[in-house]
Amino acid sequence: MTAPTPDALTPVPEEVTARIGVVQYEEEGGFPVEHGYIWTTCASVQNGNPLFWDEDVAADLTGGPIAPPTMLSVWFRPHHWSPGRSEPAVPLQAHFDLKEDLDLPEAIISSNTNTFHEPVRVGDRVRSRQVLRSVSEPKATRLGHGRFWTIDVEYLNQDDALLGVESYTAFGYQRPEEAEPADPKEDD
């Protein structure tokens, strides 16, 4: 079995085109930003930055305790289980929607850019929303034939201040059955 040629891929449905630039999946994190996770994260990488460990330094530089900028997505990851939910929640749902809508069952995240704006402060209630930015024409790569797409995840605090944006570029594709599996990336 071989992968379809780029021309044979499912055309981009109008409903997908209509989603470009539209805010989707706006939701609030499950808990306020807490100091314990900040320390656990710093401990996991032995980050001794006094900004996260010394109250006086935090007060002097940032007006109080903040989270490391790279923890932006941490405040949004759903609990492994919560009452009334039988299936695990899926982060970046807009990405999984595209895989289904475009009939591209495999996908890798090819690049990821994080931009950091207002600092995330202990006690903040973080909201996120997903915005599809683009879907490419059909492309052929070593993995197979498919399309690139870019999705922004925007994070805001309880005052609607922009905390940061995570921009994911993914390649969704179909591959021949005999092809080697791709290197594992942060997809599924």
Partner 1 sequence: MATRLLHGDVTVGDRLPDLSYDVTATTVVLGALASRDWRPMHHDRDFAVHRNGTQDIFLNTPNQAAWFERYVTDWTGPTGRLGRMTFRMNTPVFPGDHMAFSATVTGTAIDDSGCGWVDLDVSLRVGEVVATTCAARVSLPRDTDDNPWSRRGDNWCP
Binding site for partner 1 (CB under 8 A): 37, 40-51, 57, 61-62, 68-71, 73-74, 77, 80, 88, 109-119, 181, 183-186
- Please say which residue, 35 or 77, places its beta carbon nearer to partner 1: 77
- Please say which residue, 25 or 116, places its beta carbon nearer to partner 1: 116
The nearest distance, CB 103 to partner 1, in angstroms, is 23
Inter-CA distances, 114 with 16, 58, 59, 142, 181, Å: 24, 23, 25, 27, 27
The nearest distance, CB 86 to partner 1, in angstroms, is 15
What's 65-133 look like in SS3? CECCHHHHHHHHCCCCCCCCCCCCCCCCHHHHHHHHHCCCCEEEEEEEEEEECCCCECCCCCEEEEEEE
Q: Look at the block and give the residue holding tokens 């944006």.
A: 165
- Please say which residue, 11 or 181, places its beta carbon nearer to partner 1: 181
- Please say which residue, 35 or 185, places its beta carbon nearer to partner 1: 185
The nearest distance, CB 163 to partner 1, in angstroms, is 12
The nearest distance, CB 62 to partner 1, in angstroms, is 5
The answer to whether residues 158 and 125 touch, using CB atoms and an 8 Å cutoff, is: yes
